[in-house]
Chains A and B, each alone.
Chain A
């Protein structure tokens, strides 16, 4: 049954990508199909279930069938008026040397090891037991969507993860870990394909292995948390945005994917500010290029997904969504659910230096920097010198946009911490959450590093 669910998920994504005429290779389409299909399926299921307050298995099969047929017809209709772009691609056709092959074997080996962990281990992390998987369990046992309101703080996070877990229960398993493992592998395929648009296959393979083996994200790929899907949607949105603007003429299919992935970030975590960065950068670039229609489409897609959950919460709760996030976070951070951090708990041992810093921005920075570094180290070791060489020698416009976005995301994290320090009395307990959230910087940093022309001078990497 799980394999059937996987087939349905891939088919829906594949048909969608065909319908929008995305020019991509087989492995990119496979990876992207899985990523966006999980979002499309959960959104569509939620929209229908909300009308009838039904969350029974039958609805899953009906919505899946409707999506399959609808997208197939849409694809037929659109294909009638446009060229079939299947497997046409301008990507690098350079051979994959032994080093690259070893890197890809490394990715496959890591995937298999993580899969064993995922399949073996039941859901046990606090966050999932307190909210994500609990909502799925309640909906599954009652067969109604609104029964998730029985769970404390149900409104604090959108139901993406819970609905994925619910689908997995419909398919006969109560262990959702494998979804996260597969989603990470899918992202690795997309990551490889995108690197391959700018550099050789060997460099792309090594870059993919570097990204895939990064400890924080690899750990998240076997945990039923929101961090990994959020990072994947955000990073995919940025990568497709860069592709959309890689030529003079804005490339519509990648722009649509970027908008969809950006909207889906809000379908995973609604209160995080990071979505604002690609949103404003894309809007600005489209405005400068006077693509007002595309700008309207982009804003509509990315914003309307955001409203799905906000409307539901507004309808069923008068409680302030931010306030509810506070309480769930305080629950979550009070019990460790991530690998032991080497950083001492600042609440337990107040740092005298920290307490002397009165400026909130400086205080927030001093607080979150070690947690941020804990997550991105040692990636940042390689990333830092590339900022210098890319900015002063290669001066690639696309790299400058990417670096700007990474910097803005960092500023968002900082601003978010300042906001938290001024709003929540327990903000210093959020160190683990900051660390886990900072995982989203890792794929972007590796993407920046391996897109650089720097690697082209090494014969070993050709």
Chain B
């Protein structure tokens, strides 16, 4: 009886090893094709891509936005970001790209008196997903999305405004 059980267990092991390899082979062949394509891309066709180009393909939304913010703000800028209901939570990683600029993510009260970690007040606001939706007196506004950079000076912004609705930009307070 014990011998039979031992034999059955050994058969079970051999079967499980067989199933394992079958399963790995089945799930491994398709990725192997992908790996070959990736290797060709990384070693031949796209080997000379810059960091910017790679990041724009890996994190297109966040990295493009970060590049624009960097372009239009000085390194010591403190920027108010929209409350969570306006932004994808993943947008918080933009802090990494725009450092040393400091983002302050507003809460639902949207108070422009909100201070950063070290007590700093914001001097910029991110125009994003129809935010800010309250009147803001801006010394300037730079729109990101247009092919020709658009700048507005001394303007009061309060969405909805057909000129800015659905656009992204940075507002200097």
Contacts and interface: CB of A to CB of B under 8 A. Distances in A.
Per DSSP, chain A at the interface is helix
Contacts of A393: 6, 9
The 5 A-B residue pairs with the shortest CB-CB distance in the complex, in nearest-first order: A335-B90, A124-B58, A129-B93, A334-B89, A120-B42
Contacts of A133: 96
A198 interface: no
B20 A381 contact: yes
Given A378-B24, A381-B16, A381-B20, A130 B96 contact: yes
Interface string B82-96: 000000111011011
Contacts of A340: none
A452 to B, nearest CB: 9
Contacts, number: 84
A150 B78 CA distance: 13
A117 interface: yes
Nearest to A336: B90
Given A213-B24, A392-B5, 20 more contacts: A116-B39, A117-B42, A120-B54, A121-B58, A137-B96, A152-B92, A215-B27, A331-B92, A335-B88, A335-B93, A381-B19, A382-B13, A382-B16, A382-B17, A382-B20, A385-B12, A385-B13, A393-B6, A393-B9, A454-B10
Per DSSP, chain B at the interface is helix
A334 B43 contact: no
Contacts of A378: 19-20, 23-24
Contact of A137 (B16, B58, B99): B99
Interface string A149-176: 0111000000000000000000000000
Interface of B: 5-6, 9-10, 12-13, 16-17, 19-20, 23-24, 27, 35, 38-39, 42-43, 47, 51, 54-55, 58-59, 88-90, 92-93, 95-97, 99-100, 117-118
A138 interface: yes
Contacts of A334: 89-90
B51 A122 contact: yes
A97 B58 CA distance: 43
A113 interface: yes
A379 B89 CA distance: 35
A383 to B, nearest CB: 9
Contacts of A213: 24
Contacts of B5: 392
Given A134-B99, A381-B16, A335 B89 contact: yes
Contact of B55 (A122, A137, A331, A382): A122
Contact of B100 (A122, A141, A331, A388): A141
A202 interface: no
A386 B89 contact: no
A381 B22 CA distance: 12
A386 B55 contact: no
A389 interface: yes
| Residue among A133, A141, A385 with most chain B CB within 10 A | A385
Contacts of A141: 99-100
A200 interface: no
A384 interface: yes
Nearest to A337: B90
A126 interface: yes
Interface of A: 113, 116-117, 120-122, 124, 126, 129-130, 133-134, 137-138, 141, 150-152, 213, 215, 331, 334-335, 378-379, 381-382, 384-386, 388-389, 392-393, 454
A137 B24 CA distance: 39
B23 to A, nearest CB: 5
B138 to A, nearest CB: 27
B19 A134 contact: no
Contact of A454 (B13, B51, B55, B88): B13
Contact of A385 (B16, B39, B58): B16
A122 B58 contact: yes
28 contacts: A116-B39, A120-B42, A121-B58, A122-B51, A122-B58, A124-B59, A126-B93, A130-B96, A133-B96, A134-B95, A134-B99, A137-B96, A138-B99, A152-B92, A215-B27, A331-B89, A335-B89, A378-B24, A381-B16, A381-B20, A381-B23, A382-B13, A382-B20, A385-B16, A386-B13, A388-B9, A392-B5, A454-B13
A138 to B, nearest CB: 6
A134 B90 CA distance: 15
B45 to A, nearest CB: 12
Contacts of A122: 51, 54-55, 58
Given A150-B117, A393-B6, A117 B20 contact: no
B16 A389 contact: no
A120 B43 CA distance: 9
Nearest to A457: B10
Contacts of A381: 16, 19-20, 23
Contacts of A137: 96, 99
Contacts of A116: 39, 42-43
